[in-house]
Amino acid sequence: MEAKVLQIDNLHASIDGKEILKGVTLTIRQGEVHALMGPNGSGKSTLSYALMGHPNYEVTEGTATIDGQDILTLEADERAKAGLFLAFQYPTSIPGVTVANFLRHAVSNVRNPDRKEGEDLIPMRDFRKELREQMDELGMDTEFARRYLNEGFSGGEKKRAEVLQLAMLRPAFAILDETDSGLDIDAVRVVSEGVNRVASKIGTGVLVITHYKRILEYIKPQFVHILLGGRIVESGGPELVDKLEAEGYDWIREKHPEAAKDEDELEAKEKAGQFA
C-alpha cells in the first residue's frame, strides 16, 4: 500500500474568535513518528482538535489534507474514516455505553465507510476475538470491556482505553495528546509498546504530543517540533528533546521573539477574562 501523507499548511484556528493557531505547517507521512512539544497553552491540543473537527475550533485559514483530500470540510466521523485518529488529552466519559459496544460501533464505521446507521456491525464473534487479543497485548483485563467508557476510569485506565481504540481502529495517522500524562512508569512502557506495535503493523504515522522525554524513549520520534505562540518555531531531531529537558523553553522564546510576544498576549487576554 502507498504511504499516505497528512499535510498541514499554514493552519490558523480560533476559539471564540480568538486566534490560537497562527500558521502551523507540518507534513507527516505514514510510518513516520513526530513529536510535538511546547509550553502550556501554546496550542498543541488546539491543533489536534482543529484537525479532528471539534466544533469549538474554527479554522480560519490554511489547509489540511490526506493524500490531497481536504479533510477540513469533513465531519469528525468522516475524518476518522479518512484515517485520522486522536487520543484525547482529557477523554470524556460516555455513561451507559460500554467500552466493547463503543468499539464495535467505531470499528464497524471506520472499516466499512459506507455503512449506514443501523446496518450490520462487524460480527460479534470476530470482534470479541480481536478485542480480547488487543486487550491481552495491552495487559488489560477483559472485564474492562464491560465497563462504561471512561466512567470512573483511573487516569492510567483512560489512557489505556485510548490506545485500545487505536489498536482496534488501525488509523493511517494517530495524534496522541499527552498519552503519557498520569501514567505510572510501567504503564508508559506498556502503552508505548502498544502504540509501537500498532504503528509498525500498519504503518501508522504518529504525532506524539508530550512535555516529557520519557515516552519518547519508547516511541522514538525521527522529527521533533516545538510549538510556541501558535506556530512551529523549531523542527529537528531527537536532540531537541534533550536540549529542552536541559534548558527549558526560554532559549526558544529568545530566539523567536514574535512567537513569544503572541504567547504573552494570549496569556494576558486570558488573565483579563476575555475568554469568558
Binding site for Mg ion (CB under 5 A): 44-45, 89
Q: Applying CB under 6 A, which of residues 14, 30, 46, 179 lies at the interface with ligand ATP?
A: 46
Residue 29: all three cell numbers together: 507521512
Q: Is 45 in the site for ligand ATP (CB under 6 A)?
A: yes
Cα 102 from chain centroid? 19
Contacted by 15, from ligand ATP, Mg ion, none: CB < 5 to 8 Å by type? ligand ATP
Rounded to whole angstroms, the maximal C-alpha distance in the chain is 58
Q: Is 91 in the site for ligand ATP (CB under 6 A)?
A: no
Q: Applying CB under 6 A, which of residues 27, 56, 69, 274 lies at the interface with ligand ATP?
A: 56
Distance CA 207, CA 235 (A): 13
| Shortest distance in whole angstroms from residue 275 CB to Mg ion | 15
13: left (phi over 0), alpha (psi -120 to 50) or beta: beta
Distance CA 209, CA 271 (A): 25
Picking from 2, 132, 136, 145, the residue whose alpha carbon sits closest to that of residue 67 is 2
Q: Is 207 in the site for ligand ATP (CB under 6 A)?
A: no
Distance CA 185, CA 70 (A): 39
Q: Is 44 in the site for ligand ATP (CB under 6 A)?
A: yes
| Shortest distance in whole angstroms from residue 90 CB to Mg ion | 9
Q: At what angle do helices 155-169 and 99-111 cross, to 10 degrees?
A: 30
Give CA torsion, residues 107, 111, 117, 121, to 10 deg: -60
Q: Is 163 in the site for ligand ATP (CB under 6 A)?
A: no
Q: Is 79 in the site for ligand ATP (CB under 6 A)?
A: no
Q: Is 244 in the site for ligand ATP (CB under 6 A)?
A: no
Contacted by 46, from ligand ATP, Mg ion, none: CB < 5 to 8 Å by type? ligand ATP
Where does this chain bind ligand ATP (CB under 6 A)?
15-16, 20, 38, 40-46, 56, 89, 266, 270, 275
